[in-house]
Amino acid sequence: MEPEWSATAVLIPALNEEQALPSVLEALPLGRLHSVVVADNGSTDGTGEAARRLGARVVREERKGYGSACLAGIRHLAALPEPPDVLVFMDADHPEDAERLPELLLSLQSGADLVLGARLQEGGETGNVHIHARWGNRFILGAVRLLWGRQFQDLAPFRAIRFSQLLALDMDDEDWGWTLQMQIRAIQAGLTIVELLVPHRPRSVGRSKISGSLNASVRVGAKMFYTLARERLRGGFRR
């Protein structure tokens, strides 16, 4: 079975990724996909120009925040005369994810609604390459298991979801709680969720916006706790 490339769009949020982004775009089958959208989150380098040069659509979103960039890209795709059937979220700095894209798409075609690419490190650990971020993720995911009864291995951005179901989740997190919010709301909506292990390598250019420093990881962790509390109040515990 072949992936349904022409019905699949890829969304790449990016902030100052002029150096890293080209390798990701070059790894994608741009000519076969519905579209590739780079949501430029107010970059001050040549991120947008690099994306256009390699054939991607560019949506500029000045409001800072990972979720803000994602929402801008989703609005752009939803407004098209023929929106995609499937949307894939990818990082702007990990070209190796493109190698596993067919697996995610085939899993959707086999009945999944949301497919998550859980990061597999060289030593066999899952989650972020930085230990402080990895343990923070485990704590958050433990809370998700306690509150909603679903065990996840990671909160990685690399994921694929049916576009209509994504819109139905009514996502609104504008910051680093985006991936967590999606996974919680997918549970609450009764979606079929599948996790696939995806070999992960440290980025070769630049530094991670989240786990590149302990201070950034602490800020992201605080945002995750806020998202947990907000989604708990919104949707309640598992039934």
Q: List the one residue out of 143, 141, 167 whose CA is nearest residue 155.
A: 141
- Distance, in Å, from the CA atom of 179 to the CA atom of 95, rounded to the nearest integer, reads 19
- Distance, in Å, from the CA atom of 79 to the CA atom of 71, rounded to the nearest integer, reads 12
Query: In the chain, what are the domain boundaries?
Result: 5-235
Tell me the CA distances in angstroms from 47 to 26, 92, 147, 158, 214, one per residue in order: 14, 10, 39, 20, 26
Q: Going residue by residue through the chain (239 aa), what tens digit of pLDDT does each one get?
A: 899 999 999 999 999 999 999 999 999 999 999 999 999 999 999 999 999 999 999 999 999 999 999 999 999 999 999 999 999 999 999 999 999 999 999 999 999 999 999 988 655 455 445 555 667 788 999 999 999 999 999 999 999 999 999 999 999 999 999 999 999 999 999 999 999 999 887 766 655 555 456 677 788 888 999 999 999 998 754 44
- Distance, in Å, from the CA atom of 204 to the CA atom of 169, rounded to the nearest integer, reads 34
Where would I find the beta strands (DSSP E) of 35-128?
A: 35-40, 57-60, 86-89, 114-120
Q: Would you give the distance in Å from CA 206 to the centre of its chain?
A: 19
Largest CA distance in the chain: 49
Architecture of domain 5-235: Alpha-Beta Complex (3.90)
